[in-house]
């Protein structure tokens, strides 16, 4: 191919060799165009993907070749007919696909201020078709690699996935993030920043499952779990779906959260398993009535606090919270507020509790019998949501009001560590270790802080002290192996 043809700019009514006439541009991404085209010989309307860097090798430009080679088809996958250089010149490389008149799911989600308003039955029906398409790709031994709303086509009740087998190289993902809607925000943490090609099939399939979880999270909350590359890579804490949308049923939330597990081994083993779980959750979701609309039966012979305790003992945390919330809203009873947020914490809804505490922030400052308990809960929320500034300010207030208790000093050291102020953290921890020698929580933090300070001699010594009573802790074995490799035993 000569130099002037390395980068191709298509236009309407242009002929590509003796095979295609371009009719209408359907899309323009960072890597290529998609055009509606007519096959000159048969008059058939097809979709053509035309890579922009025509000077690259055929192998580099190929996409979804397994589908083309096997002449494979599935109702939820856009079929690929063929790919290669267009004769007779054999200059322009194209990927010929079926033409599927449709909108992308991204376009539907971006409709007006209300977004994509539909029933759970239809929404989960769309999602199940996406799952079926991805399961089909996996059955052929290929991953998708770029699952996101922009690559889902919807026409009426029919759904097809497209744009197969995208690169997982970071430089490609950065470009795609800028150009076509945030690919990186749908990626699994282990994929972000990875330079490693040749991942095994299980790894790339598990990354697809994570992306499917992000997609379903987006569909039911209108938000993404993470907003930045850094948050994705470190798997920063994010609100559970029901903390954003209370109409999501618990079983559907569990489906999503298992997809989004940090460790691939904790995700659904396969898309087939995910399909089965989604079908069960779909039935539960259609019948679900949000907790706040359910009247909780109160035993007339007991008071509200007894009912809350009984519900908590049955692990019915949502109902326990509702009873306590109703009491707090009607009477302002601070103990009701404490029981309300305690039940929500037990239910795993850290972000909900944080919002309630911020809305009623006076309860954290005004003297009362429950202030210390509420502050402990607030501090837990700040630390688990990585709101380090909020945690620091609360600790300073607690020390000013209550003095330097060992528990609060330990938390202060943890916050200093999260701020990379390791020297200051070590001073507090060493003082605590002198006053309370041998406590595992202190010793473990000393190992970590001296490792960060590159003082492996002290880190190793504190690891030995910690390991005397915690030899079964896998963390001890991992640290011993690391330190031994560096010459510290």
Span 359-377, pLDDT tens digits:
999 999 999 999 999 999 9
- How does residue 18 score in pLDDT terms, banded at 50, 70 and 90? confident
How many CA atoms, within 13 angstroms, populate the side-chain half-sphere of residue 238? Answer: 23
Distance between CA atoms of 190 and 183, rounded to whole angstroms?
A: 14
Please tell me the predicted confidence (pLDDT) of residue 6.
52
pLDDT of 128 strictly over 90: yes
Which of these, 26, 27, 146, 130, lies nearest to 77 by C-alpha position? 130
Mean pLDDT of the chain: 85
Please tell me the predicted confidence (pLDDT) of residue 172.
34
pLDDT of 470 strictly over 50: yes
Burial 70-95 (b: 16+ CB within 10 A, else e): eebebebbbbbeebebbeeeebbbbb
pLDDT of 127 strictly over 80: yes
Residue where the block lists tokens 């925000």: 185
pLDDT of 165 strictly over 90: no
Q: In sequence order, what are the beta bridge partners of 77?
A: 74, 161
Q: What is the mean pLDDT of residues 190-198?
A: 62
Please tell me the predicted confidence (pLDDT) of residue 300.
54
CATH code of 293-379+389-395, in short, is: 1.25.40.10
Residue 235 CA: distances (Å) to CA of 313, 314, 392: 32, 32, 22
Dihedral (CA of 53, 54, 55, 58) sign: positive
Distance between CA atoms of 215 and 218, rounded to whole angstroms?
A: 5
The share of the chain scoring above pLDDT 90, in percent, equals 54
Q: Please, what CATH class does the domain formed by 3-98 belong to? A: alpha beta
Q: What is the mean pLDDT of residues 212-234?
A: 92
- How does residue 69 score in pLDDT terms, banded at 50, 70 and 90? low
Please tell me the predicted confidence (pLDDT) of residue 355.
93
Distance between CA atoms of 134 and 76, rounded to whole angstroms?
A: 8
Please tell me the predicted confidence (pLDDT) of residue 175.
32
- How does residue 170 score in pLDDT terms, banded at 50, 70 and 90? very low
Please tell me the predicted confidence (pLDDT) of residue 73.
82
The share of the chain scoring above pLDDT 70, in percent, equals 87
69: which residues sit within 8 A by CB, 6+ positions away? none
Q: Please, what CATH class does the domain formed by 103-287 belong to? A: mainly alpha
Helix (H, G, I), strand (E, B) or coil at 24: strand
pLDDT of 195 strictly over 50: no
- How does residue 294 score in pLDDT terms, banded at 50, 70 and 90? very low
pTM (2 decimals)?
0.76
Which of these, 55, 10, 56, lies nearest to 34 by C-alpha position? 10
Q: Is 454 exposed, middle or buried (0-12, 13-18, 19+ CB in 10 A)?
A: exposed
Residue 81 CA: distances (Å) to CA of 64, 86, 99, 443, 451: 10, 14, 11, 63, 57
- How does residue 114 score in pLDDT terms, banded at 50, 70 and 90? low
Please tell me the predicted confidence (pLDDT) of residue 7.
52
Q: What is the mean pLDDT of residues 178-187?
A: 61
Q: What is the mean pLDDT of residues 425-430?
A: 95
pLDDT of 14 strictly over 90: no
Name the CATH topology of 404-489: 1.25.40
Domain 103-287 in the same topology as domain 3-98 = no
In the numeric block, which tokens belong to residue 270?
């396969």
Could you tell me the residue ranges of all domains in the chain? 3-98, 103-287, 293-379+389-395, 404-489
In the numeric block, which tokens belong to residue 431?
């003082």
Q: What is the mean pLDDT of residues 31-59?
A: 86
Q: Answer yes or no: are the C-beta atoms of 76 and 161 closer than 8 Å.
A: yes
DSSP 89: T
Dihedral (CA of 409, 414, 416, 421) sign: positive
Q: What is the total residue count of the chain?
A: 489
């Amino acid at each position: 191919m000569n130099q002037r043809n390395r980068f191709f700019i298509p236009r309407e009514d242009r002929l590509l060799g003796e095979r295609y006439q371009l009719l209408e541009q359907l899309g323009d991404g960072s890597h290529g165009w998609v055009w509606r085209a007519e096959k000159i010989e048969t008059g058939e309307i097809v979709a053509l993907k035309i890579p922009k860097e025509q000077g690259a090798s055929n192998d580099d430009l190929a996409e979804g070749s397994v589908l083309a080679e096997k002449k494979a088809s599935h109702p939820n996958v856009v079929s690929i007919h063929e790919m290669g250089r267009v004769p007779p010149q054999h200059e322009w490389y194209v990927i010929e696909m079926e033409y599927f008149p449709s909108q992308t799911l991204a376009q539907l989600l971006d409709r007006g201020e209300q977004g994509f308003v539909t029933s759970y039955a239809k929404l989960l029906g769309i999602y199940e078709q996406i799952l079926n398409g991805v399961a089909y790709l996996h059955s052929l031994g290929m991953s998708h690699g770029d699952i996101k709303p922009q690559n889902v086509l919807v026409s009426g009740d029919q759904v097809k996935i497209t744009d197969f087998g995208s690169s997982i190289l970071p430089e490609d993902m950065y470009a795609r993030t800028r150009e076509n809607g945030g690919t990186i925000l749908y990626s699994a943490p282990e994929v972000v920043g990875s330079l490693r090609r040749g991942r095994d099939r299980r790894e790339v399939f598990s990354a697809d499952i994570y992306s499917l979880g992000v997609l379903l999270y987006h569909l039911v909350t209108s938000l993404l779990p993470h907003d930045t590359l850094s948050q994705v890579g470190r798997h920063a804490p994010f609100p559970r779906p029901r903390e954003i949308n209370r109409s999501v049923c618990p079983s559907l939330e569990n489906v999503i959260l298992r997809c989004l597990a940090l460790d691939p081994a904790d995700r659904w083993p396969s898309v087939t398993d995910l399909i089965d779980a989604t079908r069960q959750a779909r039935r539960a979701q259609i019948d679900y009535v949000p907790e706040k609309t359910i009247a909780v039966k109160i035993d007339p012979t007991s008071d509200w606090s007894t009912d809350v305790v009984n519900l908590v003992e049955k692990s019915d945390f949502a109902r326990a919270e509702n009873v306590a919330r109703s009491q707090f809203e009607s009477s302002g009873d601070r103990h009701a507020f404490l029981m309300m947020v305690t039940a929500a914490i037990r239910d795993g809804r850290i972000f909900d509790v944080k919002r309630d505490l911020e809305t009623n922030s006076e309860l954290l400052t005004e003297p009362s019998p429950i202030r210390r308990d509420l502050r402990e809960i607030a501090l837990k929320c700040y630390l688990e949501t990585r709101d380090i500034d909020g945690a620091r300010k609360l600790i300073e207030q607690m020390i000013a009001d209550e003095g330097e208790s060992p528990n609060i000093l330990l938390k202060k050291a943890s916050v200093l560590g999260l701020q990379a102020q390791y020297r200051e953290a070590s001073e507090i921890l060493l003082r605590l270790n002198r006053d309370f020698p041998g406590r595992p929580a202190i010793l473990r933090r000393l190992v970590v802080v001296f490792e960060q300070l590159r003082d492996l001699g002290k880190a190793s010594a504190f690891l030995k002290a910690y390991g005397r009573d915690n030899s079964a802790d896998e963390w001890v074995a991992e640290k011993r192996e690391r330190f031994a490799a560096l010459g510290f035993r």
